[in-house]
Structures are given as C-alpha cells and as structure tokens.
Amino acid sequence: MSRDWAELERGLRRLLPSRAVVAARQELLAYDCDGLTLHRHQPPLVVLPETTEQVAAVLRFCHENGVPFVARGSGTGLSGGAVAESEALVIATSRMRRVLEVDLENRRVVVQPGVINSWVTRAVAGDGFYYAPDPSSQVACSIGGNVAENSGGVHCLKYGVTSNHVLALEVVLPDGTVTTLGSDLDETPELDLRGAFIGSEGTLGIATAITLRLLRAPQSVAVLMADFGSMEAAGEAVRRVTAAGVLPAGMEMMDRLVIEAVNDYLRGVEGFEEYPADAAAVLLIELDGQEREVVAAAELASALCREAGARQVRQAWQEEERALLWKGRKSAISALGRRFPSYYLQDGVVPRSALPRVLAAIEALSERFALPVANVFHAGDGNLHPLILYRDGEPGVRERVQELGAEILRLCVDAGGSITGEHGVGSDKRCYLDWMYGPDDLATMQLLRDAFDPQRRANPGKIFPTPRSCAESARRVQVLKAEGVELPAEAVVF
C-alpha cells in the first residue's frame, strides 16, 4: 500500500515538537539497522516522543491513518527487530530517559523505556541496591529494549532474565489506549499479561513506564578465572560445578579467537592482566552471597575446575580486580569487531550436557564454510553466542554467512535447545521459528497478538514465518496440506 509520507509528516508535526520528527534522508540513515548490520532498511520517517501522552497521540494517529509502526530503543538489538523492513513509522523512545520514582523501602524503581540499563544500578548503588539483568551492552542498551527482547546477561544463571525483574508496565496499545499490565506487588491473581508483553518484541504495543525490582547488593563477591587446554575440558568444568550444587551468579566462556582479540584490544589498559594467550578456553565464574558461603563455594569450584583439567585458577576478591577480569568478557564483541568489522552474531541455546559436542560441531561447520567462528557465551545456562566473522566485500559471503548461521541454529534445536536465548526472533530468525513450533502453536501465538493488535500494525512482519518471507516455511505448509493435515486458518499465513 502506497502512503503519502510527506502528508503523514505534516500530521505528526502538528502532534509533536518539531525536533521530535526526523525526516531528513541523512538523519534517517542512523535508523536503517540495529546491532545486526547484515540487514539494512532505511525508514521513511522517525519520531522521538518524550512522554506517554506523546506516544499515545502518535499511536492514535497511526491507528486512524492505517500506518504500521516499529518501536525502537537504543538500537543495540541483534535480530533486526527494531528495523522497518517494510514502510513503517519508527517510534524511537531514546529521549524517554527519566527515572520516574525510586522506592527503596519496597525495593523498586520506575523508569521510562529509554533509560540505559546500567543507569538503574547507578541510581541506587549508593544505597546498597542494584538491578540484576546485565546484558553485555548494558552501558548502551535501554530498559525498553530489554523488555521487548526479554534480555538476559551474565547474571541470568542465578537471578533470571528481564521478566523476573519487571513488576509492572505502563503500556500504550496499538490503538493509542494507555493501560497498565501487572502491579507493584510481587504476586497478583489476574492473568499475567505483563509476562505476555515482555519478550513480545514490539508486536503488542509500546511500554512507556516500567516498574523494576531491585536487589540488595551481596555481602561478598568473588570471580574465578580458569583457563583450559581445550573447550571440552572447560565444558566439563561447567558440568561439574553445576552438578555439585554450586549456583554461580554467572559462568562465561571464551574461546581462543576471543582471547586473542580481547588481549589485543585491552593491551595497555591500566591494571588489565591479559588472559593466558595459549589457552583454548577461559572460564569466568562469579560467586556471591554471604562471605562464608562464597569462600566455601570458591574453594569447591576451584577444585572442580582443576579436576576437569584447568591449568590454573585465579581468584579475584577486590572490586577493582573483579571488574578487570569482567572487562575482557564485556569487551569481547567490540574486540572482535575491531579485527572483523563485519560479523553475524547468533544466540542459540543448548542443554549444558550438549555443550562439548555442539561446540565441536560448530568448529566443523566453521571449517566446512571456510568462515571463522568465535565463541563467547553464557556457559551456565547453555546460551551460545557464536560470532561468524567475515569480510563484507567478498562475493557471495553474506549468503554463506546466513547459511552457516542457520546450520548452527539447527544444531541447537536438534540438541534439544532453542533458536534464541535473549536476542529475540525479529526478522533474522523468523524463518526458523517453525522448527520449534507446529502450526497450532503459531496460530495460538497469533491469537494472543491479535487480542492486543487485531490489525497487526505493531512491528509488522517480525517473529512469525510467512510464505512471502520464508520460502522453506511455505513449502512445509504446502507439504502438510498435501498430506491432508488440517491446519488452523491462521497457520496458512502464519
């Protein structure tokens, strides 16, 4: 459907301050992709509201004029979820950056969606509190984006993902209605629509105020760094530690490619002690809690790592020393990006017991496709983050990269895992969603979506496979129909 975007721009300027509407071609380039730079689509128009009222006015305008829209936070997502791949209005919440309320007595804080993840802890750290979810991009990613993707992070092994730390959401629905999902209470008797909204990737509306749960800072924290001669030995250490009943706050693993890149990237940074350059894998284990508990857990985890084949285990107890150990892990993607400006990052999940064989299979695929793959991941919960590294100018390389990415996700599903752990489905992985879910499952998900957005104007084309965008999914539908399988009406168009 062809739209008169110049006329729509004039209508939006009547609703918003002039600086809140972005229409200049050179300025729109900043919104043509998210953190997944493999796919780029420049939007026709972008608006930057600052209040719930402005968001509601824009969505009412979209509803009245039949305009699809895409919500966007800081643009750090890695699944193409915040990109307008078809003509749609981009609604960026990056100027909604106010901390609305701090309630330490009830251990909660209310923020606008554009507030940066690390700012939440910064606002309450002086009083002994912190916000647990900590994606690697936490100094740049926004809380609104975290809610949309149900983001995890280093500490999700012990403390869970975003959905475990959101109490309530003020939401603007696609027709412009403002409502509240959840409440300030930990437990309430109604249907958990708050939970349905978190992780819906912008397909149900836009959150404009988010009530977060705060945690007390632990009395004691230790970080262990163990290095290994093989990835298999590091995977065995993960298995032994978790099997022994130790519950780390986080367990992160890096392979040799990542170690080399990080050492090169941080060389010269004051206090940073390079990771062992000859190690095949480095495992970071963070333990927190009461002091005696952490001391005992650190000794046990160190011993188990050595039994699994660790060559050395370093313990860091001081905050500065712990931060330097984590700095390498937090800088891993940036470090790899400096060596390989183009990369394709996946986030499949596998059971911990499958880690060694899946990592070996990824290495074989890397050789088969002649593309280097660096591995840095949340080892404790099996959330892999393989980075496929490539040179963008090489003929046919993008197709090869995407084929390798699909093969890695197929490995994860076949191992009993998932195509995504925290990055979301977006447009990048929608063609693989029906590897995990049948037509009835997908149709049920669409019923929920239609309850919020019957016209499907919120983030159109994302998450669900369609015959138009996914030829393989279309073929699977046709095969099922040819075999006489009765499909729900929704399943045929997904």
Residue ranges of domains in the chain, CATH in brackets: 5-92 (3.30.43.10), 99-216 (3.30.465.10), 218-339 (3.30.70.2190), 430-483 (no CATH)
Of 221, 213, 217, 249, the C-alpha closest to 125 is 217
**H or E element, residue 471:** helix 471-482
- Residue 115: which of 205, 206, 208 has the closest Cα? 208
From CA 345, how far away is CA 150, in angstroms rounded?
17
Q: What is the pTM of this model?
A: 0.93
Closest CA to 202 of 120, 87, 362, 89: 89
Q: Which residues share a beta bridge with 442? A: none
pLDDT by position in tens, the chain (length 494): 679 999 999 999 999 999 999 999 999 999 999 999 988 999 999 999 999 999 999 999 999 999 999 999 999 999 999 999 999 999 999 999 999 999 999 999 999 999 999 999 999 999 999 999 999 899 999 999 999 999 999 999 999 999 999 999 999 999 999 999 999 888 888 899 999 999 999 999 999 999 999 999 999 999 999 999 999 899 999 999 999 999 999 999 999 999 999 999 999 888 888 999 999 999 999 999 999 999 999 999 999 999 999 999 999 999 999 999 999 998 998 899 888 889 999 999 999 889 888 999 999 999 999 999 999 999 998 999 999 999 988 999 999 999 999 999 999 999 999 999 999 999 999 999 999 999 999 999 999 999 999 999 999 999 999 776 686 666 666 666 666 666 665 554 54
Helix, strand, coil distribution of the chain in percent, nearest 5: 40, 20, 40
